[in-house]
Amino acid sequence: MRDVAIIGCGMTKFGRLEGKGLMDLLAEASLRAIDDAGAGDRDFDAVYVANFAAGELTRQSAIASALVDQLSLLPAAADRVENGPASGGSAVKMGLLAVASGAYDLVLVAGGEKMTHVDTNVITGIVATLSQPDVEYVHGVTLPSLAAMFTRLYMQHHGVTEKHLAMVAAKNHANALKNPYAHLQKAVTIKEIMNSVMIADPLRLYHCCPISDGAAAVVLCPADVAKKYSDAPVRIAGFGQATDTHAVHEREDPTVLKAVQLASKQAFEMAGLGPSDIDVAELHDAFAILEIAQSEDAGFFRKGEGAKALEEGKTALDGELPINTSGGLKARGHPIGATGVAQIIELAWQLRGEAKERQVSGAKRAYCCNFGGFGNNVVTHILERMD
């Protein structure tokens, strides 16, 4: 397998982006990434597009080839990847494998979703289609309700409190204030969070990610030619991907995110690194509890000790392992297909020293977790600065 590097990053602002359609967003992010890579005059071999529900939300299918045409990258190969909320991570992995195989030398990976033009209840219903159809969906389970049950169980088993959940949200809102691409740019206090409207007991409004529009894109090439494009390429040192039972209640201990454990182990083994080598991480905090749970199951903290680490400030911007410096899904926003790619971009910017006010000083190695379904499909990546 050839080593693969990220040589270009670009994203749109996330948010309620009126007047911009899905293809506009994908094109904007892609052009920024291509420009960042200085590859505007190059022939791209392939384009991978991550998107969750273009058919349902924007009445368009086969968007990967549409994007290639719109970007004037004909006749590049085009594929769309859909893997629920892990679509972005999946697409990056596919681009990675395509370059690693030797088949392609220059690949664009773009992820995007246009959501805010559709009623929130409709969105919630569409997102719920990733739950288990016969024992979850059919009973009216939605992602917030699954997350609420998971949170309640986590509180019982691991001593997590409503205040801990609020601390995740407050931290990530504070980080997002320093990220011009973030959807929610507003500081919120623990009190405000704990008094916000109840969505699915015990989850309140500020414990949940917003519904966002946005897109993100990266350019990949073989690591050995990366410096021809970029002064600061970032190597993809490892990846992992694992599935778990579709129905959450079938898991031996539903508070254990087994797919996060396995996918993280794979990525660390491939990179020849361990959790203590990581300087900055992006976790999939679609709901506040998930940041705590993933910080444990990825191996950064022992099971049941994630909340304590949060409390001690270890995951804060100036802590020993800053988590979700971008603001996370919580505050950067969660345009579903874009998220996994945006996580990678935040980390690449950190490793390139370009994260400005939210820069983690001297960051060399980064980890990210893109979490699909309710943890039944997880994609992880480990990135490393190339010096």
* Residue 224 binds a copy of itself, judged by CB under 8 A: no
**78 or 165: CB nearest a copy of itself:** 78
* Residue 340 binds a copy of itself, judged by CB under 8 A: no
At position 175, the amino acid (one-letter code) is N
* Residue 187 binds a copy of itself, judged by CB under 8 A: no
**Minimum distance, C-beta of residue 108 to a copy of itself, in the bound complex (Å):** 12
Q: Which of 218, 358, 377, 386: binder of a copy of itself (CB under 8 A)?
A: 377
* Residue 258 binds a copy of itself, judged by CB under 8 A: yes
Q: How far is CA 105 from the centre of its chain?
A: 25
* 218 closest CA partner among 119, 347, 372: 347
**Tokens of residue 296, six digits:** 């444990």
Q: Which of residues 64-103 bind a copy of itself (CB under 8 A)?
A: 64-66, 68-70, 73-84, 86, 90, 93-94, 97-98, 100-103
- Cβ-count burial of 197 within 10 angstroms (0-12 exposed, 13-18 middle, 19+ buried)? exposed
CA distance 167 to 165: 5
DSSP 327: -
Site string for a copy of itself, 39-68 (x = CB under 8 A): -------x-----xx-xx--xxxx-xxx-x
Q: Report which secondary-structure segment, H or E, holds 377.
A: strand 377-385
**160 or 217: CB nearest a copy of itself:** 217
Q: Phi and psi of 258, rounded to 5°?
A: -60, -40
* Residue 122 binds a copy of itself, judged by CB under 8 A: no
**58 or 350: CB nearest a copy of itself:** 58
* Residue 312 binds a copy of itself, judged by CB under 8 A: no
* Residue 373 binds a copy of itself, judged by CB under 8 A: yes
* Residue 3 binds a copy of itself, judged by CB under 8 A: no
Residues that contact a copy of itself, how many (by CB under 8 A): 58
CA distance 341 to 92: 7
**Minimum distance, C-beta of residue 312 to a copy of itself, in the bound complex (Å):** 32
CA terminus-to-terminus distance, the chain:
21
CA distance 36 to 312: 37
**112 or 327: CB nearest a copy of itself:** 112
Residue 355: other Cβ atoms inside 10 A:
22
**1 or 225: CB nearest a copy of itself:** 1
* Residue 376 binds a copy of itself, judged by CB under 8 A: yes
**Minimum distance, C-beta of residue 58 to a copy of itself, in the bound complex (Å):** 8
CA distance 131 to 375: 10
**CA distances (Å), 369 to each of 166, 209, 344, in order?**
21, 16, 9
Helix, strand, or coil (residue 222): strand
**Tokens of residue 77, six digits:** 């190969």
* Residue 299 binds a copy of itself, judged by CB under 8 A: no
Region of 356 on the Ramachandran plot (φ > 0 left; ψ -120 to 50 alpha; else beta): left
Do residues 186 and 134 make contact, with C-beta atoms less than 8 angstroms apart? no
**244 or 296: CB nearest a copy of itself:** 244
**87 or 179: CB nearest a copy of itself:** 87
**80 or 235: CB nearest a copy of itself:** 80
Residues forming contacts to a copy of itself in the complex (CB under 8 A) are 1, 23, 46, 52-53, 55-56, 59-62, 64-66, 68-70, 73-84, 86, 90, 93-94, 97-98, 100-103, 126, 129-130, 132-133, 137, 241-246, 258-259, 262, 372-373, 376-377
